[in-house]
Amino acid sequence: KKLLYFLGNKKGTHMQNFDDDELDELYQSLIFEHSKKPYNFKKISHCNCSQIGKNPSCGDKLEIFVNINQNKIQDISFIGEGCALSMASASFLMKKIEHLSLEEAKSMINRFIEFILNKGNLIDSDEPLHLFYNVNKFPLRVKCVLLSWRTMEKILLDTDK
């Protein structure tokens, strides 16, 4: 069984065929890469919102820093420590919601949480979040993957108050 997968590069997007094993290997390498060198892994000094998130069952802990201006995420970062899935998921969160409006960020967070918990649908622009598609087979790992997303969800809920 082959799967067509869209890959982006500096020259544009192209399609490539991957079988399931090759796709799993690609996804694992992306998770590994983002866990070792997470995007925006730093504390931004000019934030106006922050939130700590903890996963006691695994020991993951992170803090998200956000600068929100005119209902838009101007800058976002995180620091912390945790398993590869937790760190990679936080890295993808940073990359995906940076510069989004608060409503767009809420929508993406809700879609991702629904995708992880109930195999909901992601849209094409959510790629590469699809790489977490099998995590619900491992209930303890669901908490790792959702830690940063739930933490950011809390920040956005607090901005509504």
CA angle 125, 119, 126 (to 5 degrees): 10
pTM of the complete model: 0.82
Q: How is residue 142 written in tokens? A: 């669901």
Q: What is the pLDDT of residue 26?
A: 59
Contact 78, 62 (CB under 8 A): yes
Q: How is residue 11 written in tokens? A: 């020259």
- The arithmetic mean of pLDDT across residues 115-133, rounded, is 85
Which has the closest alpha carbon to 69: 90, 98, 107, 112? Answer: 98
Which has the closest alpha carbon to 150: 103, 117, 104? Answer: 117
Categorize the per-residue pLDDT at 31 as very low, low, confident or very high, splitting at 50, 70 and 90: confident
pLDDT beyond 50 at 16: no
Mean pLDDT score across all residues of the chain: 84
